[in-house]
A and B are shown apart, each in its own frame.
Chain A
């Protein structure tokens, strides 16, 4: 059974269709990069997966929790799906440790005395063990984004979604965040990444999905997609990276 299965996902804003029937299955341990032009629907698709965007048709299934347009099961599904955003979205009024333990405590009933062990564990995975007591505004963008990844990891998700998580960072900070994601990939985390980092997609993602005009235009093994693009749209899109 795939970790994540999207079937016939359709969404429109009024009369404007943005997703025209997406089908995608992500196996356990897969790292799927989603690439495509701005407006191709890739972020919208990602946001549908954990119900941040309502959709009109189709189903999304994560480890047995099935989500359709009725939005029943939404919280059950969200417990299994972590999400990291472009703008980090840490809670500014809470310390790093509190950001990390909030959801495990109130959603999963984590006892207070187990909190600090969890904080140490997830912070060490993103290389920020010493920052537990800092507040978000005391951290660099890259550090904030790694804390956001740690916060998401603390819920022990089966699938993690990354929505252009390095787009707001300079190249140096981008590097440290990508390194963290690559380590998660090596550790076997199932991930879907919407990204504009073509080199990273090619190197780290096991599969790459090219979205165009609200559909999955082309998909396959990352190496295959980047070296032998079949459709002219994909060829055009990655052309600058092939030079």
Chain B
């Protein structure tokens, strides 16, 4: 059933793109929630918790994402927890994004000068209020550039879930190539679609970093 690359193929790829974007958003939300909790635990928790989170971050950062994906999909099903590809993909990407976002945000929290913590303490703010009103808003501002930059990595890295059969953009490209045998048409279109999503994010990330350097703190 060889067909030639045409409008229908683009539609097919676009469908894959929608899944790529959807999976990226899930990853960003999941990784964002856990990443924030882990970042706070890593920079402010008791020593045992800091060590635990640091261990997690190092372990995940030192493991290829593909292995995490295989472990969630094949490994867990071997243990009797079967996840469909979408769930396995979302879980493993969240594990991955959590580690990196926690590390990025920990750096941002620790970049806030000690004197800001002391000023909040001296005003009798509780540790939670100090974090909520003084530290996190400032850390948030400096985190915007690197965070948006990391979203580009998330979008591109969703492609490894093609290997467990999740039909996102890359997997859609593979399937289409098997039908059309026009790899240049197919994969250049795939690459263009990634570019259309990623380039604006990169551009935005750079803008946010410039704004920080320009020193407008508000």
Contacts and interface: CB of A to CB of B under 8 A. Distances in A.
Interface of A: 50-52, 75, 78-79, 81-83, 85, 87, 89-93, 95, 102-103, 106-107, 135, 137, 151-152, 155
A21 to B, nearest CB: 25
Contacts, number: 64
Contact of A85 (B119, B126, B134): B119
A152 B120 CA distance: 11
B137 interface: yes
Contact of B116 (A89, A95, A103, A135): A89
Nearest to A83: B122
B138 A151 contact: no
Contact of B217 (A75, A93, A152): A93
User: Considering residues B122, B134, B138, which has the most beta carbons from chain A within 10 angstroms of its beta carbon?
Assistant: B122
Contacts of A152: 122-123
Given A85-B118, A92-B217, A152-B122, 17 more contacts: A51-B121, A52-B118, A52-B121, A75-B124, A75-B126, A82-B122, A83-B122, A85-B119, A85-B122, A87-B115, A89-B115, A89-B119, A91-B120, A95-B218, A102-B125, A106-B125, A106-B133
A93 B133 CA distance: 10
A51 B122 CA distance: 8
Contact of A137 (B129, B133, B141, B217): B217
A107 B125 contact: yes
The interface residues of chain B, by DSSP majority, are classed as helix
B64 interface: no
Nearest to A151: B123
B46 interface: no
30 contacts: A50-B122, A52-B118, A75-B124, A75-B126, A78-B121, A78-B122, A78-B123, A85-B115, A85-B122, A89-B115, A89-B118, A89-B119, A91-B116, A91-B138, A92-B217, A92-B218, A93-B138, A93-B217, A102-B123, A102-B134, A103-B123, A103-B124, A106-B125, A106-B129, A107-B129, A135-B217, A137-B217, A151-B123, A152-B122, A152-B123
Sort A-B residue pairs by CB-CB distance and give the 3 closest, nearest first.
A89-B119, A103-B123, A78-B124
A91 B125 contact: no
B117 to A, nearest CB: 9
A229 to B, nearest CB: 32
B131 to A, nearest CB: 12
B80 interface: no
A151 B118 CA distance: 14
Contact of B218 (A83, A135, A155): A135
Nearest to B216: A137
Interface residues of B, number: 20
Contact of A93 (B121, B122, B124, B218): B218
A158 B53 CA distance: 42
Nearest to B121: A52
Contacts of A85: 115, 118-119, 122
B123 A93 contact: no
Nearest to A148: B119
A159 to B, nearest CB: 12
A131 B218 CA distance: 16
A91 B134 contact: yes
A205 to B, nearest CB: 22
B123 A92 contact: no
A65 to B, nearest CB: 11
A176 to B, nearest CB: 21
Contacts of A151: 123
Given A89-B118, A91-B119, A137 B124 contact: no
Contacts of A107: 123-126, 129
Contacts of B129: 106-107
B141 to A, nearest CB: 7
B118 A103 contact: no
A102 B124 CA distance: 11
Interface in B78-133: 115-116, 118-126, 129, 133
